Amino acid sequence: MRVFTASLATETNTFAPLYVDRSAFESAFYCPPGTHPDTPTLCSAPIIAARRRAASEGYELVEGTATWAEPAGLVSRDGYESLRDEILGQLRAALPVDIVLLGLHGAMVAQGYDDCEGDLIAKVRALAGPDCVIGAELDMHCHLSAEMVEGADIIVAFKEFPHTDFLARAEDLLELCLRTARGEVKPVSAVFDCRGLAAFMTSREPGRGFVDRIKAVEGRDGILSISVAHGFQAADVADVGSKVLVIADGDAAKAAALAKRLGLEILGWGQGASPRHYKPAEGIAAAIELAEPGKPVVLADRWDNPGGGVAGDSSVMVEALLRHPEIPAAIGALWDPVAVSLCRAAGVGAEIALRFAGKAAPSSGRPIDAVVQVIGTTADLLIPFEQSWVSLGPAAAIRIGLLDIVLASARAQTFSPPVFTDLGIDLAAKTLVVVKSSNHFHAAFAPIAASVLYLDSGGPYPPDASKIPYTKVKRPFSPLDPNPWL
């Protein structure tokens, strides 16, 4: 048996003024064939899953390129086509193959391509032929177009948010593709389109219990796989929205019935699946009440999360914390490569007049001017996220009174405490810790936190879908229209 695997992924916020070309992939994560490290990344986990089982399963593995760009705005046509064609050329050279395993995201948009993954899967199918088993792993924040589902035999999305299960789901995908190629199962897919947005977190109820229940259903009574595509609302594409994908063994009606039942259950939660979002001042006030000695309250600046395709340099929460000089606090990581280079040149211990943050867009707030003390620097802030490592590039920590601030050169979200601790910041000595992340921080920060709160600091990510200027979404679509299922 011959297996080909490759990965091409990013998440495109079509409203973000941060344009992406091939160089953004090459500088973020770019591994030509055979050079992928032994640890997976969020979207390249199928490569590692396939590598680990090649010997025991007795297949020959051909690795193509694996690449990822940090979520941002529209991808250039040249950038997408050159990476796509690079992988297709590698596949062509590897033919014939029995299985193609793709590590994708599912919300990549390029100039002229609203559905990059649907396009890539269709071209893979055209090359590999109708008998090849094509499997793709997607991020749950995907658009799950009909082209993706029809082009692939098996699609498996992450189940967990935070995405703690990217390797486990890649292993599920590989297992199902192997069983299909051996003729042990005959996967048929059914999608229930929620006609709206129905996202939830699995770090809290009702999402936690729901995912535990669907995992218990998988592998029983002919149900091979269940994926909930939450959707990615910051994209003006026809296929935006939440969908449930069920793959059954040969029984399309069973798959469709279960997908609909699960989709209606999620829709029934309404806003009840979403945590409270605090405005900056009320969030700080609430957190002070909840902090415990040695345990800070962690506040997520959700809508300035670089993982959602925005800059991650909003100064709104820095200004809010500076209005409370009596509170020991930390905030990070803010994207500001210019300020980082100035801090690193000045050196640890230096006191400098620095302008930082609030530069990428009007919704990032105002730049902050302050005399700061440089308390830590590094040539590469490398932090863990589950089985992967994420680089924030050269970074610096600065101090203004009791407030410590981490500045980074690369846009990446604040996945884990080493963003702070690797630069010498003692989180146990802080009352409040503000992180630039939507929910991926939760897995690593919850154990050190007295409590976790979510902030609405005003953007720049568009949190209210009813105010997003969509032009392409298929109607009806809630919250723009009443949901036809409810």
Instruction: List interacting residues with Zn ion (CB under 5 A).
Output: 139, 141
- Closest approach of Zn ion to the CB of residue 385, in Å: 12
Distance CA 322, CA 317 (A): 8
- Residue ranges of alpha helices (H) inside 95-140 are 116-128
- Closest approach of Zn ion to the CB of residue 417, in Å: 21
Distance CA 242, CA 144 (A): 8
- Closest approach of Zn ion to the CB of residue 42, in Å: 8
The 3-state DSSP class for residue 187 equals: strand
- Closest approach of Zn ion to the CB of residue 110, in Å: 19
Cis? peptide before 449, omega within 30° of 0: no
Q: Which is nearer to Zn ion, 141 or 324 (CB)?
A: 141
Q: What is the DSSP letter of 164?
A: T
Q: Which is nearer to Zn ion, 63 or 386 (CB)?
A: 386
- Residue ranges of alpha helices (H) inside 358-482 are 418-421, 442-445
Nearest to 46 by CA among 7, 90, 94: 7
Q: Which is nearer to Zn ion, 138 or 419 (CB)?
A: 138
- Closest approach of Zn ion to the CB of residue 337, in Å: 25
- Closest approach of Zn ion to the CB of residue 10, in Å: 11
Residue nearest Zn ion (C-beta atom): 141
- Both structure tokens of 13: 């916020």
Residue 450: Cβ within 10 Å count: 15
- Residue ranges of alpha helices (H) inside 291-356 are 316-322, 337-346
Q: Which is nearer to Zn ion, 139 or 171 (CB)?
A: 139
Q: Which is nearer to Zn ion, 139 or 386 (CB)?
A: 139
Q: Which is nearer to Zn ion, 359 or 440 (CB)?
A: 440
E-strand spans in 104-193? 133-138, 154-157, 187-193
**Are 434 and 206 a contacting pair, CB within 8 Å?**
no
End-to-end alpha carbon distance in the chain: 47
The 3-state DSSP class for residue 130 equals: coil
Q: Which is nearer to Zn ion, 142 or 320 (CB)?
A: 142
- Closest approach of Zn ion to the CB of residue 231, in Å: 10
